[in-house]
Amino acid sequence: MARFIFASAVYLLIGLIVILPVVLVFVMAFSHGLATALATFADPDALSAIRLTVIMTVLTVAINTVFGVMAAWTLSRFRFPGRGALIVLIELPLSVSPVVGGLVWLLVFGTQGWWGAALERWGYPVMFAPPGILLATVFVTFPYVTRTLMPVMIHNGREGEDAAVLLGAGLWQILWHVTLPGARLALLSGVLLTTARAMGEFGAVSVVSGHIPGLTETIPLHIETLYNGYQTVAAFTMAGLLAIMAMLVVTARTLIERRAGARGLIA
């Protein structure tokens, strides 16, 4: 009986907090019919926002996957002074407000900051341009790959790697043939988590973007601009698109984790 009550409560909460808002997004998007909703994508600014979001997400995932793997490997295999501090630092973006993440880059690369004026003179503006958006997105999604990989790498232990060393394998061979295959599913899960977070990031990107329609607006920023411009249907259609993209990623992640769980690969 208790189990039944708890389960109902959980379903009710999830229904109210998670499912209802998503349903409402689609209701609003299609409130004036399918044609009106689809007309959103005829706007070049909307297409630009979608393109920018995809490019930023792909680059962010690439960068954070490389660094996440390196960090997780280093932290799980070696004991060195400052290891604890390093783990805390890597997880810092999880606890710092994304707005702060954006402001920090502004301090470094803004024209009032350390390097901004010089970079601008050379014709490489970082802030209020895609490179700044990339920096901000990389910052907020930095911990995910490391965090999903590290426990699995620790769980897998280093016997396999030690054996590979004895057989004469080099560093890259060990990484490619021993370490990563053992943590493949965890890696994929971390990558997908990074993807979902990178697509949806608003706060940090908002600070460094300048909100220039057609140039530096990602999907979440474009949604805000549309909403503030009283283009409600277009705003919710873009929100619906973002929701679909996120749901695809989360579904992929769940399927992968289920496989991993079945094989006992995730501790």
Partner 1 sequence: MVTKTRLTRRGLLQATLAGGAALALRPTRAWAATGLLNVSYDPTRELYQDIDRSFSRFWAEGHGGAPVQIRTSHGGSGAQARSVLEGAPADIVTLGLAYDIDILAQNGLLATNWQTRLPHNSTPFTSTIVFLVRKGNPKNIHDWPDLIRDGVQVITPNPKTSGGARWNYLAAWGWALNQPGGSADSARAYLKKLFTHVPVLDTGARGATNSFVQRGLGDVLLAWEDEALLATREIGPDQFDIVVPPVTILAEPPVAVVDRNAQAHGTTEIAQAYVQYLFSDAGQKIGAKHYFRPVTPAILAENRDRFPAVHTFDIASLGGWTKVQKEHFADGGIFDSIYTK
| Contact residues for partner 1, defined by CB under 8 A | 55, 59, 62-63, 66-67, 71, 80-82, 85-86, 89, 106, 109-113, 116, 120, 123-132, 134-135, 138, 142, 210-215, 225, 227-230
What are the distances in angstroms from CA 7 to CA 4, 97, 193? 5, 33, 26
Asked if 56 and 130 count as a contact pair (C-beta separation under 8 A), the reply is yes
User: Closer CB to partner 1, residue 26 or residue 67?
Assistant: 67
Identify the residue whose tokens are 């295959």: 181
Distance in Å, CB of 23 to partner 1, minimum: 19
In order, the DSSP letters of 160-182 are: HHHHHHHTT--HHHHIIIIIHHH
Task: In whole angstroms, give the CA distance from residue 35 to residue 157.
Answer: 56
User: Closer CB to partner 1, residue 74 or residue 155?
Assistant: 74
Distance in Å, CB of 4 to partner 1, minimum: 38
Q: Which two tokens stand for residue 135?
A: 């920096």
User: Closer CB to partner 1, residue 232 or residue 246?
Assistant: 232
Task: In whole angstroms, give the CA distance from residue 60 to residue 78.
Answer: 26
Q: Which two tokens stand for residue 201?
A: 């990031």
Distance in Å, CB of 235 to partner 1, minimum: 11
User: Closer CB to partner 1, residue 155 or residue 227?
Assistant: 227
Asked if 130 and 49 count as a contact pair (C-beta separation under 8 A), the reply is no
User: Closer CB to partner 1, residue 46 or residue 71?
Assistant: 71
